[in-house]
Amino acid sequence: MDPNEAKAKAEAFCSEFEKLRTEIGKVIVGQTEIVEGVLICLFVGGHALLEGVPGLGKTLLIRTLADAVTLKFNRIQFTPDLMPADIVGTNIVMEDESGKRHFEFQSGPIFAQVILADEINRATPKTQSAMLEAMQERQVTVGGTRYKLAEPFFGLATQNPIEQEGTYPLPEAQLDRFLFKLLMDYPSSEELRTVLDRTTENVEIKVDSVLDGPAILARQQLVRDVVVAPHVKDYAVRLIKATHPGDPTAPDVTHRYLRWGASPRAAQALVLAGKVHALLDGRFNVSFDDIKSGVLPAMRHRVILNFEGEAEGKTTDDVLNIILTLVSTTAEAAGKKV
Protein backbone atom coordinates (compact mmCIF):
# COMPACT_ATOMS: atom_id res chain seq x y z
CA MET A 1 0.00 0.00 0.00
CA ASP A 2 1.23 3.47 -0.87
CA PRO A 3 2.54 5.33 2.25
CA ASN A 4 0.28 8.33 1.63
CA GLU A 5 -2.74 6.07 1.18
CA ALA A 6 -1.88 4.16 4.34
CA LYS A 7 -1.54 7.41 6.30
CA ALA A 8 -4.89 8.67 4.99
CA LYS A 9 -6.63 5.43 5.95
CA ALA A 10 -5.07 5.51 9.41
CA GLU A 11 -6.22 9.09 9.93
CA ALA A 12 -9.76 8.24 8.79
CA PHE A 13 -9.85 5.25 11.13
CA CYS A 14 -8.64 7.37 14.03
CA SER A 15 -11.27 10.02 13.29
CA GLU A 16 -14.12 7.50 13.32
CA PHE A 17 -12.77 5.85 16.45
CA GLU A 18 -12.75 9.22 18.20
CA LYS A 19 -16.28 9.98 17.01
CA LEU A 20 -17.50 6.75 18.57
CA ARG A 21 -15.58 7.49 21.76
CA THR A 22 -17.12 10.99 21.87
CA GLU A 23 -20.67 9.67 21.45
CA ILE A 24 -20.16 7.14 24.23
CA GLY A 25 -18.59 9.89 26.37
CA LYS A 26 -21.87 11.82 26.22
CA VAL A 27 -23.31 9.18 28.57
CA ILE A 28 -20.37 7.37 30.16
CA VAL A 29 -18.19 9.52 32.41
CA GLY A 30 -14.52 8.56 32.58
CA GLN A 31 -13.66 4.86 32.13
CA THR A 32 -11.38 5.88 29.24
CA GLU A 33 -9.43 2.62 29.10
CA ILE A 34 -12.61 0.54 29.28
CA VAL A 35 -14.27 2.44 26.43
CA GLU A 36 -11.12 2.12 24.34
CA GLY A 37 -10.92 -1.59 25.07
CA VAL A 38 -14.53 -2.17 24.03
CA LEU A 39 -14.01 -0.24 20.79
CA ILE A 40 -10.83 -2.20 20.03
CA CYS A 41 -12.83 -5.42 20.37
CA LEU A 42 -15.47 -4.02 18.02
CA PHE A 43 -12.94 -3.06 15.35
CA VAL A 44 -11.10 -6.39 15.39
CA GLY A 45 -14.25 -8.51 15.49
CA GLY A 46 -13.67 -9.85 19.01
CA HIS A 47 -15.78 -10.05 22.15
CA ALA A 48 -15.38 -8.30 25.50
CA LEU A 49 -15.99 -9.37 29.10
CA LEU A 50 -16.60 -6.48 31.50
CA GLU A 51 -16.12 -7.08 35.20
CA GLY A 52 -16.99 -4.62 37.94
CA VAL A 53 -19.13 -4.07 41.00
CA PRO A 54 -22.78 -3.05 40.50
CA GLY A 55 -23.52 0.53 39.52
CA LEU A 56 -20.38 1.37 37.53
CA GLY A 57 -22.19 1.57 34.20
CA LYS A 58 -21.24 -1.72 32.53
CA THR A 59 -24.67 -2.28 31.03
CA LEU A 60 -25.12 1.41 30.26
CA LEU A 61 -21.81 1.48 28.37
CA ILE A 62 -22.89 -1.39 26.14
CA ARG A 63 -26.35 0.08 25.50
CA THR A 64 -24.74 3.41 24.61
CA LEU A 65 -22.38 1.72 22.17
CA ALA A 66 -25.37 0.02 20.56
CA ASP A 67 -26.98 3.46 20.11
CA ALA A 68 -23.80 4.80 18.50
CA VAL A 69 -23.73 2.11 15.79
CA THR A 70 -26.50 1.14 13.40
CA LEU A 71 -26.65 -2.50 14.44
CA LYS A 72 -29.43 -4.68 15.85
CA PHE A 73 -29.07 -4.90 19.62
CA ASN A 74 -30.42 -7.51 22.05
CA ARG A 75 -29.93 -7.86 25.77
CA ILE A 76 -30.03 -11.29 27.40
CA GLN A 77 -30.42 -11.30 31.17
CA PHE A 78 -28.67 -14.42 32.43
CA THR A 79 -30.42 -16.13 35.35
CA PRO A 80 -30.14 -19.61 36.91
CA ASP A 81 -33.32 -20.79 35.18
CA LEU A 82 -32.30 -19.54 31.71
CA MET A 83 -32.12 -22.40 29.18
CA PRO A 84 -30.00 -22.68 26.00
CA ALA A 85 -33.14 -22.54 23.86
CA ASP A 86 -33.96 -19.17 25.45
CA ILE A 87 -30.77 -17.86 23.84
CA VAL A 88 -30.41 -19.57 20.47
CA GLY A 89 -34.05 -20.37 19.74
CA THR A 90 -35.91 -23.62 19.14
CA ASN A 91 -38.03 -25.55 16.64
CA ILE A 92 -41.74 -25.20 17.26
CA VAL A 93 -44.66 -27.10 15.75
CA MET A 94 -46.66 -25.07 13.24
CA GLU A 95 -49.81 -25.94 11.35
CA ASP A 96 -50.46 -24.76 7.80
CA GLU A 97 -53.81 -23.96 6.13
CA SER A 98 -54.36 -27.59 5.13
CA GLY A 99 -53.89 -28.81 8.68
CA LYS A 100 -50.46 -30.33 8.11
CA ARG A 101 -47.97 -29.88 10.90
CA HIS A 102 -44.32 -29.05 10.48
CA PHE A 103 -41.40 -27.76 12.50
CA GLU A 104 -40.42 -24.13 12.13
CA PHE A 105 -37.38 -22.49 13.65
CA GLN A 106 -38.07 -19.59 15.98
CA SER A 107 -34.87 -17.61 16.45
CA GLY A 108 -33.71 -16.49 19.88
CA PRO A 109 -32.21 -13.18 21.00
CA ILE A 110 -28.71 -14.30 19.93
CA PHE A 111 -29.79 -13.36 16.38
CA ALA A 112 -28.65 -9.78 16.63
CA GLN A 113 -25.38 -7.98 15.93
CA VAL A 114 -24.62 -6.48 19.33
CA ILE A 115 -25.38 -8.90 22.16
CA LEU A 116 -25.31 -7.98 25.84
CA ALA A 117 -25.00 -11.08 28.02
CA ASP A 118 -25.82 -9.41 31.30
CA GLU A 119 -24.47 -11.12 34.44
CA ILE A 120 -23.35 -14.07 32.36
CA ASN A 121 -22.00 -15.96 35.38
CA ARG A 122 -25.50 -16.26 36.88
CA ALA A 123 -26.54 -18.92 34.35
CA THR A 124 -25.60 -22.59 34.56
CA PRO A 125 -22.64 -23.94 32.56
CA LYS A 126 -25.10 -25.66 30.21
CA THR A 127 -26.66 -22.31 29.33
CA GLN A 128 -23.31 -20.52 29.17
CA SER A 129 -22.17 -23.08 26.61
CA ALA A 130 -24.95 -21.94 24.27
CA MET A 131 -22.83 -18.85 23.62
CA LEU A 132 -19.69 -20.78 22.62
CA GLU A 133 -20.58 -21.62 19.03
CA ALA A 134 -22.00 -18.16 18.41
CA MET A 135 -18.89 -16.42 19.75
CA GLN A 136 -16.40 -18.52 17.83
CA GLU A 137 -18.19 -19.62 14.65
CA ARG A 138 -20.75 -16.83 14.27
CA GLN A 139 -23.46 -19.46 13.93
CA VAL A 140 -25.77 -21.62 16.05
CA THR A 141 -26.89 -25.20 15.55
CA VAL A 142 -30.45 -26.20 16.45
CA GLY A 143 -31.89 -29.62 15.62
CA GLY A 144 -28.93 -30.45 13.42
CA THR A 145 -29.38 -27.33 11.28
CA ARG A 146 -26.86 -24.52 11.25
CA TYR A 147 -28.01 -20.92 11.22
CA LYS A 148 -25.56 -18.13 10.37
CA LEU A 149 -25.54 -14.97 12.46
CA ALA A 150 -25.49 -11.56 10.83
CA GLU A 151 -22.14 -9.84 10.50
CA PRO A 152 -20.67 -7.96 12.24
CA PHE A 153 -21.43 -9.95 15.39
CA PHE A 154 -20.22 -8.40 18.65
CA GLY A 155 -20.72 -10.08 22.01
CA LEU A 156 -20.28 -8.27 25.31
CA ALA A 157 -20.77 -9.89 28.70
CA THR A 158 -20.82 -8.48 32.20
CA GLN A 159 -20.16 -10.09 35.55
CA ASN A 160 -19.98 -9.02 39.17
CA PRO A 161 -16.71 -9.98 40.94
CA ILE A 162 -17.94 -9.72 44.52
CA GLU A 163 -21.28 -11.55 44.58
CA GLN A 164 -20.53 -15.27 44.42
CA GLU A 165 -23.75 -16.81 45.78
CA GLY A 166 -25.82 -18.29 42.97
CA THR A 167 -23.12 -17.79 40.34
CA TYR A 168 -21.24 -20.20 38.10
CA PRO A 169 -17.68 -19.17 37.16
CA LEU A 170 -17.11 -19.14 33.44
CA PRO A 171 -15.13 -22.16 32.24
CA GLU A 172 -11.71 -21.50 30.75
CA ALA A 173 -12.91 -22.52 27.28
CA GLN A 174 -15.49 -19.75 27.34
CA LEU A 175 -13.17 -17.16 28.86
CA ASP A 176 -10.73 -17.85 26.04
CA ARG A 177 -13.34 -16.75 23.51
CA PHE A 178 -13.28 -13.21 24.88
CA LEU A 179 -10.67 -11.05 23.15
CA PHE A 180 -10.42 -8.75 26.20
CA LYS A 181 -11.35 -8.91 29.85
CA LEU A 182 -11.83 -5.35 31.08
CA LEU A 183 -11.93 -4.39 34.76
CA MET A 184 -14.10 -1.39 35.62
CA ASP A 185 -13.07 0.64 38.66
CA TYR A 186 -14.77 3.31 40.76
CA PRO A 187 -14.96 6.83 39.29
CA SER A 188 -12.87 9.67 40.69
CA SER A 189 -14.47 12.44 42.77
CA GLU A 190 -14.63 14.77 39.76
CA GLU A 191 -16.14 12.05 37.57
CA LEU A 192 -18.68 11.21 40.26
CA ARG A 193 -19.78 14.86 40.42
CA THR A 194 -20.25 14.83 36.65
CA VAL A 195 -22.35 11.67 36.95
CA LEU A 196 -24.56 13.44 39.49
CA ASP A 197 -24.95 16.45 37.21
CA ARG A 198 -26.05 14.26 34.31
CA THR A 199 -28.34 11.91 36.20
CA THR A 200 -30.02 14.06 38.87
CA GLU A 201 -30.88 17.12 36.79
CA ASN A 202 -33.01 17.77 33.71
CA VAL A 203 -30.31 16.95 31.18
CA GLU A 204 -31.32 15.34 27.90
CA ILE A 205 -28.56 13.41 26.15
CA LYS A 206 -28.88 12.21 22.57
CA VAL A 207 -26.38 9.70 21.20
CA ASP A 208 -25.90 9.92 17.43
CA SER A 209 -25.22 6.90 15.25
CA VAL A 210 -21.70 7.02 13.81
CA LEU A 211 -21.14 3.77 11.88
CA ASP A 212 -23.27 1.08 10.28
CA GLY A 213 -22.56 -2.61 9.72
CA PRO A 214 -20.79 -2.40 6.34
CA ALA A 215 -18.58 0.46 7.60
CA ILE A 216 -17.56 -1.55 10.67
CA LEU A 217 -16.75 -4.60 8.52
CA ALA A 218 -14.61 -2.38 6.30
CA ARG A 219 -12.71 -1.06 9.32
CA GLN A 220 -12.19 -4.61 10.59
CA GLN A 221 -10.62 -5.47 7.24
CA LEU A 222 -8.44 -2.37 7.41
CA VAL A 223 -7.14 -3.43 10.83
CA ARG A 224 -6.03 -6.78 9.41
CA ASP A 225 -4.16 -5.02 6.62
CA VAL A 226 -1.84 -3.30 9.11
CA VAL A 227 1.72 -4.63 8.84
CA VAL A 228 3.43 -6.52 11.66
CA ALA A 229 7.19 -6.97 11.25
CA PRO A 230 8.59 -10.46 12.02
CA HIS A 231 10.57 -9.27 15.05
CA VAL A 232 7.45 -7.62 16.54
CA LYS A 233 5.42 -10.76 15.93
CA ASP A 234 8.22 -12.75 17.55
CA TYR A 235 7.97 -10.52 20.62
CA ALA A 236 4.26 -11.35 20.94
CA VAL A 237 5.11 -15.05 20.69
CA ARG A 238 7.76 -14.77 23.40
CA LEU A 239 5.32 -13.00 25.70
CA ILE A 240 2.90 -15.89 25.34
CA LYS A 241 5.61 -18.51 25.83
CA ALA A 242 6.79 -16.68 28.94
CA THR A 243 3.46 -17.52 30.62
CA HIS A 244 3.86 -21.28 30.12
CA PRO A 245 5.18 -22.95 33.30
CA GLY A 246 6.57 -25.90 31.34
CA ASP A 247 8.52 -23.79 28.86
CA PRO A 248 12.29 -23.61 29.44
CA THR A 249 12.38 -19.94 28.42
CA ALA A 250 9.70 -18.92 30.95
CA PRO A 251 10.89 -16.75 33.87
CA ASP A 252 10.97 -17.95 37.46
CA VAL A 253 7.86 -15.93 38.36
CA THR A 254 5.87 -18.04 35.89
CA HIS A 255 7.05 -21.33 37.38
CA ARG A 256 6.36 -20.02 40.86
CA TYR A 257 2.88 -18.53 40.46
CA LEU A 258 1.18 -19.87 37.31
CA ARG A 259 -0.52 -23.21 36.74
CA TRP A 260 -1.51 -22.65 33.11
CA GLY A 261 -0.33 -20.13 30.54
CA ALA A 262 -2.00 -18.16 27.77
CA SER A 263 -3.43 -19.87 24.68
CA PRO A 264 -2.74 -19.10 21.00
CA ARG A 265 -5.86 -16.91 21.03
CA ALA A 266 -3.96 -14.60 23.38
CA ALA A 267 -1.26 -14.14 20.73
CA GLN A 268 -3.93 -13.33 18.16
CA ALA A 269 -5.47 -10.81 20.55
CA LEU A 270 -2.11 -9.13 21.19
CA VAL A 271 -1.39 -8.69 17.48
CA LEU A 272 -4.90 -7.53 16.53
CA ALA A 273 -5.08 -5.06 19.41
CA GLY A 274 -1.60 -3.85 18.48
CA LYS A 275 -2.80 -3.13 14.95
CA VAL A 276 -5.61 -0.93 16.28
CA HIS A 277 -3.20 0.95 18.54
CA ALA A 278 -0.92 1.52 15.55
CA LEU A 279 -3.77 3.00 13.52
CA LEU A 280 -4.77 5.23 16.42
CA ASP A 281 -1.20 6.53 16.44
CA GLY A 282 -1.38 7.27 12.71
CA ARG A 283 0.86 4.35 11.73
CA PHE A 284 0.35 1.37 9.46
CA ASN A 285 2.91 -0.81 11.24
CA VAL A 286 2.86 -2.30 14.73
CA SER A 287 5.49 -1.41 17.34
CA PHE A 288 6.59 -3.18 20.52
CA ASP A 289 4.62 -0.68 22.60
CA ASP A 290 1.47 -1.49 20.63
CA ILE A 291 1.89 -5.14 21.61
CA LYS A 292 2.57 -4.25 25.25
CA SER A 293 -0.58 -2.15 25.49
CA GLY A 294 -2.78 -5.21 25.03
CA VAL A 295 -1.05 -7.61 27.42
CA LEU A 296 -3.27 -7.16 30.48
CA PRO A 297 -6.73 -7.10 28.85
CA ALA A 298 -5.81 -9.88 26.41
CA MET A 299 -4.10 -12.22 28.88
CA ARG A 300 -5.44 -11.65 32.42
CA HIS A 301 -8.27 -14.13 31.84
CA ARG A 302 -6.15 -16.63 29.94
CA VAL A 303 -3.56 -17.45 32.61
CA ILE A 304 -4.38 -19.36 35.79
CA LEU A 305 -2.68 -18.92 39.14
CA ASN A 306 -1.44 -21.96 41.03
CA PHE A 307 -1.95 -22.58 44.74
CA GLU A 308 1.11 -20.55 45.75
CA GLY A 309 0.00 -17.58 43.69
CA GLU A 310 -3.46 -17.60 45.25
CA ALA A 311 -2.06 -18.15 48.76
CA GLU A 312 0.21 -15.12 48.44
CA GLY A 313 -2.65 -12.96 47.17
CA LYS A 314 -1.21 -12.45 43.72
CA THR A 315 -3.39 -11.51 40.77
CA THR A 316 -2.83 -12.45 37.16
CA ASP A 317 -2.16 -8.75 36.49
CA ASP A 318 0.66 -8.81 39.06
CA VAL A 319 2.35 -11.74 37.36
CA LEU A 320 1.84 -10.38 33.84
CA ASN A 321 3.33 -7.01 34.80
CA ILE A 322 6.46 -8.76 36.08
CA ILE A 323 6.67 -10.85 32.90
CA LEU A 324 6.41 -7.66 30.83
CA THR A 325 9.50 -6.27 32.55
CA LEU A 326 11.45 -9.49 32.00
CA VAL A 327 10.71 -10.35 28.37
CA SER A 328 13.13 -8.48 26.14
CA THR A 329 12.08 -6.84 22.88
CA THR A 330 15.35 -7.77 21.21
CA ALA A 331 15.45 -10.65 18.78
CA GLU A 332 18.59 -12.02 20.45
CA ALA A 333 16.49 -12.90 23.49
CA ALA A 334 14.52 -15.55 21.60
CA GLY A 335 15.26 -18.99 22.94
CA LYS A 336 16.96 -17.68 26.09
CA LYS A 337 15.58 -17.97 29.60
CA VAL A 338 14.53 -14.59 31.03
The answer to whether the CB of 241 falls within 8 A of the CB of 226 is no
The pLDDT, as a whole number, for residue 93 is 81
The two beta strands, 114-118 and 73-77, are parallel
Do 190 and 284 fall within a single domain?
Answer: no
> 91 in a domain, yes or no?
no
Answer whether residue 18 is part of any domain: yes
Does 206 lie in the same domain as 236? no
Tell me, yes or no, whether 128 and 72 share the same domain.
yes
b/e per residue, 98-119, with b = 16+ CB within 10 A? eeeeeeeeeebbbbbbbbbbbb
Point out the domain boundary residue: 196, 215, 234.
215
> What are the helix (H) ranges across 82-188?
84-88, 125-128, 130-137, 172-175
Number of domains in the chain: 2
Tell me if 99 is assigned to some domain: no
Is residue 47 a part of any domain in this protein? yes
Residue 97 lies in a domain: no
Amino acid 164: pLDDT: 65
Same domain for 26 and 172, yes or no, is yes
Q: In this predicted structure, what is the pLDDT of residue 4?
A: 75
C-alpha distances out from residue 118 to 73, 74, 128, Å: 13, 11, 12
pLDDT of residue 74: 92
Identify whether residues 150 and 210 lie together within a single domain. yes
- Confidence (pLDDT) at 165: 63
Mean pLDDT in order along the chain per 10 residues (338 residues) = 78 90 88 92 94 85 89 91 89 78 84 91 85 88 86 90 72 90 90 86 84 91 93 94 91 93 94 94 91 94 94 93 87 48
Do 162 and 71 share a domain, yes or no?
yes
Q: Is the pTM of this model over 0.75?
A: yes
39 in the same domain as 135 = yes
Q: Choose one of 215, 242, 264: the last residue of a domain.
A: 215
Residue 196 lies in a domain: yes
Residues 153 and 29 in one domain: yes
Query: Do 181 and 327 belong to one domain?
Result: no
DSSP E strands in the chain: the ranges are 48-51, 69-70, 73-77, 89-95, 101-107, 114-118, 139-142, 145-148, 154-159, 180-183, 211-212, 258-260, 304-305
Domain ends where: 187, 215, 243?
Answer: 215
Query: Which CATH number characterizes residue 47's domain?
Result: 3.40.50.300
Q: Is residue 103 part of a domain?
A: no
Q: Does residue 27 belong to any structural domain of this protein? A: yes
Tell me, yes or no, whether 233 and 205 share the same domain: no
User: Any idea what the CATH number is for the domain that residue 241 is in?
Assistant: 1.10.8.80
Q: What pLDDT shows up at residue 75?
A: 93
Do 144 and 281 fall within a single domain?
A: no
Same domain, 323 and 255: yes
Give 108's contacts (C-beta < 8 A, 6+ positions apart): 85, 86, 87, 88, 89, 90
Q: What is the extent of the structural domain holding 232?
A: 226-333
